[in-house]
A and B are shown apart, each in its own frame.
Chain A
Amino acid sequence: MSVMRKFRAPNRLSMLVRADGGMMAKDALAAADAALEPLRAESLAVLDAALAEIEARFGRSAAATRTGGVHQDLYTLALRIIDVSGFLPGSCVDQAAVSFCALVDNCAEAGVWRWEAVDVHINALRLLRTADLDPDQRQAVIAGLNKVSQRRIDDA
């Protein structure tokens, strides 16, 4: 049986945060939003570049050369989209990229690549990024993607 020790550790953060001065949460949030704004254009450029790289390396046009051996690259590109997708609130681009990550995880774990599911995700990301869809249509796209990505490999 292992020995367990339970103790109170000092929380320096707690003491500092309560110091006199500072600002109200609403002001901190407004300042953070303002500080983020200058990064909007470059963040959306990062998003578009990641999507373009996914299409070029893992899309239908690369069908002859694409391989699941570099799944970490695909996963990282999808994560890059998620990183900056906060600038597209309500677009569901982030949710599509999360579904993409789940798909890559499932495929890598099973060692079987479902390229048609990859294509569906790439098309959906492009659609969500560029098309003028209403919220219900966007949610319908995400619902479909989640079904595709969560589908077990051996059910395919």
Chain B
Amino acid sequence: MREPLHAATRINLEKVEVLLVDDSVPSLNLLSQVLLGFGVGNLTRADGARAAQALLRERTFDLVISATNMAGVDGYELVKWLRRGALEANRYLAVILVSGHTPPSQVFKGRDAGANFTIAKPITPKIVLERILWAAKEDRQFIECGTYLGPDRRFRNDGPAPGAKGRRREDPPQALRPPGAPSLESADSEKAKP
């Protein structure tokens, strides 16, 4: 479980290089103001994914915040590209997607593109700051395989049930699973359902 934001938490964004990407000017303005309010000292704005790609090929950033729905290359494609095609120093960046319409399919799409988090618009300063702190405290390892490069998409360490597809060697055995995790029996009974 990730921590909620505490009023007394200290944060220093003065030297963080942030790239903000959105092809909607009003939205870009709102997010810029929020970040400037947080004390971000190095904020670069890109009015589309192609402009962002050009920047990510040339300069090193520490955080990317991008809209998802953009004409041409969208935010999901941008993140996928960033993880493999940007400067080496930018491939493991923290990426936060911002989206006005976030049905589960879109959230999964962002996750599978390699984003760290997705924020639903309309943005609020509290949620933006909280997600930046989550990204700063990110403790997930990176996974690289043929179809994916990005933070481990599992937030919990249970892994699929024994015998199921996608299980890894380091997944905890049934006996070590935290209380409340589905038991082997219940997983099997799920499988037996029509």
Contacts and interface: CB of A to CB of B under 8 A. Distances in A.
Partners in one complex: yes
Interface of A: 2-14, 16-26, 28-29, 31-36, 38-39, 42-43, 46, 75-76, 78-80, 82-86, 94, 97-98, 101-102, 105
B12 A36 contact: no
B24 A17 contact: no
B12 A21 contact: yes
B23 to A, nearest CB: 10
A39 B124 CA distance: 14
Interface stretch (B26-34, B44-52, B181-189): B26-34
Nearest to B68: A79
A13 B136 contact: yes
Given A22-B12, A83-B122, 19 more contacts: A4-B145, A10-B92, A16-B62, A17-B13, A20-B12, A22-B11, A24-B7, A24-B8, A24-B9, A25-B5, A25-B9, A26-B7, A28-B11, A28-B39, A29-B125, A82-B122, A83-B121, A101-B100, A102-B103
B180 interface: no
Interface of B: 5-16, 24, 26-27, 29-30, 33-39, 62-63, 69, 91-94, 100-101, 103, 121-126, 128-129, 132-133, 135-138, 141-147, 152, 168
Task: Classify the secondary structure of A's interface with B.
Answer: helix
A25 B26 CA distance: 25
Main SS at interface, chain B: loop
Nearest to B32: A35
Contacts of B39: 22-23, 28, 31
Given A28-B37, A29-B125, A35-B36, A23 B142 contact: no
